[in-house]
Amino acid sequence: MKKGNATGGPVASRVSTRGASAGDKERALRPASDAASRIADELRNKLDKLEPGTRLPSVRELVERHGASPVTVQRALAQLAREGRVLTRPGDGTFVASAQSQSVPVDVSFQALALGAGNAGLDIGLSPFASAGHNLIPLGTGYMDLASQPLALLRAASLRAARREDVWSRVPAEGLDPLRAWFARDIGGDISARQVLIVPGGQAALSAVLRALVPAGASLLFESPSYFGALAIARAAGIRPVPVPSDREGVRPDALEAAIARCGARALYVQPTYANPTGAVMSSERRRALIEVARRTNIFLIEDDYARDLTIDGAVPPPLVRECPSHVVYIRSLTKTAAPGLRVAAIAALGPVFERLRAARAVDDWFVSGMLQEIALELVSSPGWPRHIAQLRSMLRARRDAAVETIRSELPTVTLANVPRGGFNLWLALPESLDDLEIARQAELAGVHINAGRVWFPAESLGPHLRLSYAAAEPRELREGVRRLARVIEKATR
Residues that bind ligand PLP (CB under 6 A): 142, 201-203, 227, 229, 271, 276, 304, 306, 333, 335, 340, 345
Which element (helix H / strand E) includes 78?
helix 70-82
Smallest separation (angstroms) from ligand PLP to the CB of 277: 9
Q: How far is the CB of 229 from ligand PLP (least distance, A)?
A: 5
Could you tell me the smallest distance in angstroms from the CB atom of residue 345 to ligand PLP?
5
Is residue 371 within 8 Å of 179, Cβ to Cβ? no
H or E segment to which residue 197 belongs: strand 196-199
Closer CB to ligand PLP, residue 128 or residue 325? 128
In sequence order, what are the beta bridge partners of 224? 245
**Residues 376 and 228: beta-carbon distance below 8 Å:** no
On whether the CB atoms of residues 406 and 477 are closer than 8 A, the answer is: no
CA distances from 474 to 398, 425, 471 (A): 8, 15, 8
- In whole angstroms, how close is the CB of 317 to ligand PLP at the nearest point? 16
Q: How far apart are CA 473 and CA 274, in angstroms?
A: 19
| C-beta of residue 436 within 8 angstroms of C-beta of residue 452 | yes
CB atoms within 10 A of CB 343: 20
Nearer to ligand PLP, 96 or 209 (CB): 209
Nearer to ligand PLP, 236 or 446 (CB): 236
Q: Which CB sits closer to ligand PLP, 128 or 253?
A: 128
Strand partners, 223: 244
Residue 404, H or E segment: helix 384-410
Q: Taking the complex as a whole, how short is the minimal distance between the CB of residue 330 and ligand PLP, in angstroms?
A: 12
Task: Identify the CA nearest to 471 among candidates 138, 84, 39.
Answer: 138
Which residue lies nearer to ligand PLP by CB, 4 or 340? 340
Measured CA distances, 322 to 14, 242, 337 (Å): 39, 26, 21
307 vs 485, beta carbon nearer ligand PLP = 307
Taking CA atoms, 356 is separated from 352, 353, 368, in Å, by 6, 5, 18
Closer CB to ligand PLP, 253 or 277, in the complex = 277
Q: Which residue is nearest to ligand PLP (CB)?
A: 202
CB distance 376 to 344 below 8 Å: yes
Nearer to ligand PLP, 287 or 467 (CB): 467
The CA distance from 396 to 399, in Å, is 5
For ligand PLP, the closer of residues 39 and 251 by Cβ is 251
446 residue type, one letter: A
Query: CA-CA distance, 300 to 80, in Å (whole number)?
Result: 53
Using alpha carbons, list the distances in angstroms from residue 358 to 186, 255, 367. Answer: 20, 32, 10
Q: Evaluate whether 305 touches 282 at the Cβ level (below 8 Å).
A: no
Buried b (16+ CB within 10 A) or exposed e, 33-45: ebbbbebbbebbe
- Start-to-end CA distance of the chain, whole Å, equals 33
What is the nearest approach in angstroms of ligand PLP to the Cβ of residue 60? 47
- Least distance in Å: CB of 161 to ligand PLP? 20
**Which residues are CB-contacts of 451 (< 8 A; sequence separation ≥ 6)?**
127, 128, 140, 440, 466, 467, 468, 469
Report the residue number, 308 or 479, with the smaller CB distance to ligand PLP: 308
Min separation Cβ 232 and ligand PLP, Å: 11
Q: Which is nearer to ligand PLP, 74 or 131 (CB)?
A: 131
Least distance between ligand PLP and beta carbon 335 (Å)? 3
